[in-house]
């Protein structure tokens, strides 16, 4: 059983998705730059962020190469899994509020990107 298609008003514009990808890239790269690897929780978070950065680049390349919707959605889903793991990690640890907020924002943007790509798939029918 397929989900009903969202209304045309609820479907995000492709430029909004591109902006969200750019914003997410900026947040992840900023965190990778400013977070020192001096404590164990910082090193683990840096590992999650490095993985998110790689998966974000895969998503960008998948879109740029014009791959089919399934591959694009899979790349977005894999990115979201990594961001969810990072978000859960900072939620239960000794992370400072600024870092925690940035990771939560990154998770939110990742969710918005995945949802927007999913909505565009249903808009084609």
Distance of alpha carbon 122 from alpha carbon 8, whole angstroms: 10
Give the pLDDT confidence of 24-76 residue by residue, as tens digits.
999 999 999 999 999 999 999 999 999 999 999 999 999 999 999 999 999 99
Q: What is the residue-averaged pLDDT of the chain? A: 87
Between 75 and 120, name the one with better pLDDT. Answer: 75
Global model pTM greater than 0.95:
no
Between 60 and 120, name the one with better pLDDT. Answer: 60
**Residues ≥6 apart with Cβ < 8 Å to 24:** 56, 106, 109, 110, 113
Spell out the domains of the chain, with CATH numbers in brackets.
13-123 (1.20.1270)
Q: What is the mean pLDDT of residues 3-12?
A: 48
CB of 12 closer than 8 Å to CB of 111? no
């Amino acid at each position: 059983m397929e989900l009903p298609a969202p209304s045309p008003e609820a479907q995000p514009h492709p430029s909004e998705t591109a902006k969200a990808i750019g914003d997410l890239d900026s947040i992840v790269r900023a965190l990778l730059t400013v977070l020192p690897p001096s404590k164990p929780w910082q090193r683990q978070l840096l590992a999650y962020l490095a993985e998110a950065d790689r998966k974000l680049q895969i998503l960008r390349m998948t879109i740029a190469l014009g791959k089919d919707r399934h591959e694009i959605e899979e790349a977005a889903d894999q990115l979201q899994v990594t961001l969810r793991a990072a978000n859960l990690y900072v939620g239960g640890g000794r992370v400072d509020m600024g870092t925690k907020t940035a990771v939560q924002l990154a998770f939110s943007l990742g969710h918005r990107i995945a949802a927007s790509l999913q909505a565009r798939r249903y808009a084609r029918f």
